[in-house]
Structure 1
Amino acid sequence: MGNYLFIPIAFVALVILFKFFFIVKQQTAVAVERFGRFHSIRNSGLQLKIPIIDRIAGRLSLKIQQLDVIVETKTLDDVFVKLKVSVQYVVLRDKVYEAFYQLEYPHDQITSYVFDVVRAEVPKMKLDDVFVKKDDIANAVKSELQDAMFDYGFDIIKTLVTDIDPDAQVKAAMNRINASEREKIAAQFEGDAQRILIVEKAKAEAESKRLQGQGIADQRREIARGLEESVEVLNKVGINSQEASALIVVTQHYDTLQAIGEETDTNLILLPNSPQAGSDMLNNMVASFTASNQIGEAMKRKQIEKDSSDS
């Protein structure tokens, strides 16, 4: 009979023991009330309370928490945009009472301040400035929250503008502008490349013409030197300069005809068919040389007379 009584007594004692003691987890604070009034703040560890007289009013986390707030507002250039503001905050250990008893819904309080600051700052900026100055917006939100929430036992660790989402039509227009700008830059680069190619091609052609002209000049210089040597050889055998020049021209003429016949794909060469064509050509050449010699002699005499008068 005694064993049967021991079990209920032990059970009641265990229940009473659990009513007297409670455990507070790490990074947590517990508010204890006595007869409905605030009594104390208990920190992590094993804590004692008087059953029926004391009760746990609530628990507060002392860890850093984050609240994401999405605010829709309008910019200076009349563009509607949604901003996602992330607020990181923590309950101060020495202000747990204020955080628990003075604010019923701290999240709603923080959200209201974020809305107020964002809708005061963003309408002063154009859309492009919102993207560039998002850190300024975040700092303004933090400054306002820090001053407002500190008295309620909250410390604002950091605020971040994590997303800026303009209206869908505005984003499409921005993408078109960006694409057009990139196409413009690409066209400029392509134009520069084409211009460089044209300039380099012109330089190459100019260099080619210069080298070609130099080659022709060298060729004519060598021909003249060869003709001079030929005339000297013919003079040594009793042929005067005029006859030698005519002979050389005729020889060159027939050498040219022969070269044409050898290097072309056709077997047909058109030549003067008159019986006197050959002699006429030779007479014309001789007359040309005679005229050129007469002009040369006249120039020589004029130069001699000029030199005599000067002396």
Structure 2
Amino acid sequence: MDIFSISSLSLLVLAVLVAAGLSAAFGGFFTVKTAEVAVVVRFGKFLRVAEAGLNWKWPYLDDVAGRISLRVSQITLTMETKTRDNVFVTIPISVQTRVRPEKVFDAFYKLANPVEQIQAYVEQVILGHVPGMTLDEVFASQSGIAAAVKQELDADMAGFGYEIVNVLVTDIVPDAKVKAAMNDINAAQREQVAAAARGEAEKILVVKKAEAEAESKALQGQGIANQRSAIIQGLQGSIEQFQKVVGGTSTADVMQMVLVTQYFDTLKSIGENDRTNTLFLSHSPGAIKEFSEQIMQSVLVAAKA
């Protein structure tokens, strides 16, 4: 009976030891996700970097101190600074970073708070560039500022195991009053361009109108010349025919009679239109005779010339 009790106790102890051993052995297995690494330490000292998949560590000897993601992460910050022409601007910046796989040790142990320290580096680089530029230069060099920040930040953070994938300067926001003044200046410049365009259009209209009037007057003058030529030819035929019918009549007598006839025709045409604005001079018999003599004299002088 005593021997049986001792044997049972031994088996129980052995079973417990085997179970504890198996539990410890299986407890040494651990998994690491894709795009992630685990830092394994032994008694608190760095041992190795465990990559994605199933891994094993010695129970009670090794431990997983932490895990680091290898994916790209984005740090967003907004900082305010002053330009060379004393304008305060707010600059939103996005920094895309990731841990270099070959420098996991540096990334895990050298930086206590990576986000805050990267932000401090970004602010230092911005303060080294923007204060030496005017507001217009800052707007024109937005991509250049981002490239400068990336270049300097990447060089500084490489020693800490971080890679700067990209730096984005998403906007340049000046003070509200400065922004309103810039909008006013822009509106005034656009209005100036619009006024110049309107003036040029009006100039073209005036020139075209003058050209049309000149062409119209030229055609009108040609028509008047043709009309007068036809009148002269008609008068010549009338005078010759009248002299044949009425013998002994001089050319001057015939012209005077024709002028009197035209005078009465003119009076008739003026009276037929109730909206006429023609200014007609005195039509007394003495005035008509005087007009006739002046016209005849002009015709005779022109004929002699």
**Once the 2 structures are TM-superposed, how far is the Cα of residue 76 of structure 1 from its aligned partner?**
0.6
SS in 1 for 2:168: strand
Q: Pairwise mapping of residues 54-133 of structure 1 onto structure 2 (< 5 A)?
A: 54-133=62-141
- For residue 259 of structure 1, what is the aligned residue in structure 2? 269
Structure 2 gap segments, 5+ residues each: 1-11
Q: Does 1:38 align with 2:46?
A: yes
- Give the stretch that moved more between structures: 48-57 or 211-220: 211-220
SS in 1 for 2:86: coil
CA contact (8 A) 2:84 2:133 kept: yes
SS in 2 for 1:163: coil
Query: Quick one: distance in 1 between partners of 2:55 and 2:83?
Result: 54
- For residue 249 of structure 1, what is the aligned residue in structure 2? 259
Q: Pick one of 178, 182, 186 that aligns with 2:186.
A: 178
- The normalised TM-score by structure 2 is 0.83
CA contact (8 A) 1:85 1:160 kept: yes
**Once the 2 structures are TM-superposed, how far is the Cα of residue 248 of structure 1 from its aligned partner?**
1.4
CA contact (8 A) 1:29 1:41 kept: yes
- For residue 201 of structure 1, what is the aligned residue in structure 2? 209
CA distance 1:182–1:192, change in 2 (3 Å): same
Q: Write out per-residue CA displacement over residues 86-131 of structure 1, whole angstroms, 9 at most, x where no aligned residue.
A: 1112111111111111111121221111111100100111011111
The one-letter amino acid paired with 2:126 is V
Query: Quick one: distance in 2 between partners of 1:37 and 1:292?
Result: 130
Query: Quick one: distance in 2 between partners of 1:264 and 1:119?
Result: 88
The one-letter amino acid paired with 1:257 is L
Q: Write out per-residue CA displacement over residues 9-41 of structure 1, whole angstroms, 9 at most, x where no aligned residue.
A: 799788545521111000001001111111110
- The normalised TM-score by structure 1 is 0.81
- For residue 303 of structure 1, what is the aligned residue in structure 2? none
Query: Quick one: distance in 2 between partners of 1:181 and 1:296?
Result: 64
CA distance 1:29–1:203, change in 2 (3 Å): same
Considering only aligned residues, what root-mean-square deviation do their CA atoms show, in Å? Answer: 3.0
- Give the stretch that moved more between structures: 170-179 or 118-127: 170-179
Q: Pick one of 218, 222, 225 that aligns with 1:214.
A: 222
CA distance 1:296–1:119, change in 2 (3 Å): closer
The one-letter amino acid paired with 2:224 is I
Query: Quick one: distance in 2 between partners of 1:105 and 1:88?
Result: 16
SS in 1 for 2:165: strand
CA distance 1:91–1:293, change in 2 (3 Å): closer
CA contact (8 A) 2:255 2:296 kept: no
Question: Sequence identity of aligned pairs in percent?
Answer: 44
The one-letter amino acid paired with 1:243 is D
Query: Quick one: distance in 2 between partners of 1:82 and 1:289?
Result: 90
SS in 1 for 2:125: helix
Q: How many residues align?
A: 286
SS in 1 for 2:58: coil
The one-letter amino acid paired with 2:262 is Q
**Once the 2 structures are TM-superposed, how far is the Cα of residue 265 of structure 1 from its aligned partner?**
6.5
**Once the 2 structures are TM-superposed, how far is the Cα of residue 243 of structure 1 from its aligned partner?**
2.1
Query: Quick one: distance in 2 between partners of 1:296 and 1:102?
Result: 116
- For residue 28 of structure 1, what is the aligned residue in structure 2? 36
CA contact (8 A) 1:76 1:127 kept: yes
Q: Write out per-residue CA displacement over residues 42-84 of structure 1, whole angstroms, 9 at most, x where no aligned residue.
A: 0000111122211110000011111112221110100111112
